[in-house]
């Protein structure tokens, strides 16, 4: 089968591998769609933490179930997606119902080879029914689940002001699920084109460019209170360190974005607010199910995010262009 391998930062090669053979407790999927995410872009740049080369990228996937062992309720030939975080099942996180932050986790396309290939093998226990959704929609369940999990971590209540920093695909999904949770959402980014997308496509009521007057604008929007929830979806050290100034007293901050360096903030300013700082890693089955249910109810339309399309045979040639902000890419979708 044909696979696309990231040999080293900035370099892809198509390679032929044997088609996976069915083994006990696993399933084989014929890949139909691959969504390109920030992790893939960071890996290509050489800036992705927890990463080594060579690596087959790709974990936003959908396709047809072609073989399976120990997959009760699933039918050969049905469209599926899956949870791409392979957990160990016995560490303290897994025992406490948090497989998304398993001590020994292997994320497809990061710690283990991913799905930029014609076929992919995954533990059957991680399969997710297609439930009538299209291949495009199914490939976008995982990135939306990342945002849904961050929103769940924040424990948002109705009519809270929630500031989401970063209007990339993860940030956009976070905004949508914060809205579904009843929040008054404020979108922040440095890219005016993406902020316009938030307002015009997603109906986000408040947009703020992260410039010099951002704090004043946010204060004005919130009537001087500042947001009680701040969620970072940038993975930018500068953005994360700056985000603390936007927190209301008693606020919660959730870091969905990931960067390699240290976080720095004023302890007295953080302490006097009795603020809460949380990370949000991956997502759980409950988040995947919440996303699928929200799609089926029409509360979120993931196809809004697809701005670029290409065939798998052209992926290597086109991928680097998506690193340029001027490309206008929000979500690129690859077809096989």
**Mean pLDDT for the stretch of residues 33-46:** 90
Cβ-contact 191, 250 below 8 angstroms: no
Asked if the model's pLDDT at residue 278 lies above 90, the reply is yes
Model pLDDT, residue 51: 81
Question: Taking the CA of residue 194 as centre, how many other CA atoms within 13 Å lie in the half-sphere pointing to its CB?
Answer: 26
**Mean pLDDT for the stretch of residues 182-207:** 95
Model pLDDT, residue 42: 85
The domain defined by 147-279 carries CATH number 3.60.15.10? no
- The token duo for 5 is 């391998």
Model pLDDT, residue 80: 98
Return d(Cα 291, Cα 285) in angstroms, integer.
10
- The token duo for 124 is 């059957």
Each domain of the chain, given as residue ranges in start order, spans 2-139+301-335, 147-279
pTM over 0.85: yes
Kindly indicate the confidence band of residue 46, based on its pLDDT and cuts at 50, 70 and 90. Answer: confident
Strands 161-165 and 229-232: parallel
Asked if the model's pLDDT at residue 98 lies above 80, the reply is yes
What is 2-139+301-335's CATH number, 3.40.50.300, 3.10.105.10, 3.90.180.10, 3.40.50.2300?
3.90.180.10
Q: Which DSSP string do the residues of 177-209 spell out, in sequence order?
A: HHHHTT-EEEEEES-HHHHHHHHHTS--SEEEE
Kindly indicate the confidence band of residue 13, based on its pLDDT and cuts at 50, 70 and 90. Answer: very high
pLDDT tens, residue by residue, 231-271:
999 989 999 999 999 999 999 999 999 888 899 999 999 99
Asked whether the bond before 223 is cis by omega within 30 degrees of 0, the reply is no
Model pLDDT, residue 295: 97
Kindly indicate the confidence band of residue 279, based on its pLDDT and cuts at 50, 70 and 90. Answer: very high
Are 2-139+301-335 and 147-279 the same fold in CATH?
A: no
């Amino acid at each position: 089968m044909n696979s696309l391998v990231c040999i080293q930062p900035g370099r892809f090669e198509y390679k032929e591998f044997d088609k996976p053979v069915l083994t006990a407790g696993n399933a084989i999927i014929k890949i139909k769609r691959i969504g390109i995410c920030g992790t893939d872009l960071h890996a290509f740049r050489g800036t992705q933490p927890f990463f080594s080369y060579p690596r087959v990228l790709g974990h936003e996937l959908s396709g047809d179930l072609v073989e399976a062992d120990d997959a009760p309720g699933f039918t050969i030939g049905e469209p599926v997606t899956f949870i791409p975080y392979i957990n160990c099942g016995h560490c303290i996180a897994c025992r406490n119902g948090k497989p998304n932050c398993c001590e020994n986790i292997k994320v497809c396309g990061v710690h283990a080879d991913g799905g930029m290939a014609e076929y992919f093998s995954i533990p059957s226990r991680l399969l997710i029914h297609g439930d009538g959704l299209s291949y495009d929609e199914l490939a976008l369940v995982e990135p939306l689940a990342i945002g849904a999990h961050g929103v769940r971590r924040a424990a948002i209540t109705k009519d809270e002001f929630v500031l989401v920093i970063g209007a990339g695909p993860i940030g956009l999904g976070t905004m949508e699920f914060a809205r579904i949770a009843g929040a008054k959402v404020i979108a922040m980014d440095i890219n005016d084109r993406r902020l316009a997308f938030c307002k015009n496509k997603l109906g986000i009521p408040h947009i703020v460019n992260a410039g010099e007057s951002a704090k004043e604008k946010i204060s004005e929007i919130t009537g001087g209170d500042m947001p009680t929830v701040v969620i970072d979806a940038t993975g930018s050290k500068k953005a994360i360190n700056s985000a603390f100034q936007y927190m209301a007293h008693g606020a919660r901050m959730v870091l969905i974005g990931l960067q390699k360096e240290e976080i720095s903030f004023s302890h007295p300013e953080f302490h006097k607010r009795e603020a809460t700082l949380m990370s949000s890693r991956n997502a759980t089955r409950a988040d995947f199910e919440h996303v699928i249910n929200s799609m089926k109810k029409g509360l979120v339309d993931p196809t809004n995010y697809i701005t670029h399309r290409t065939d798998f045979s052209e992926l290597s040639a086109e991928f680097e262009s998506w690193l340029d902000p001027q490309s206008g890419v929000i979500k690129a979708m690859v077809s096989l």
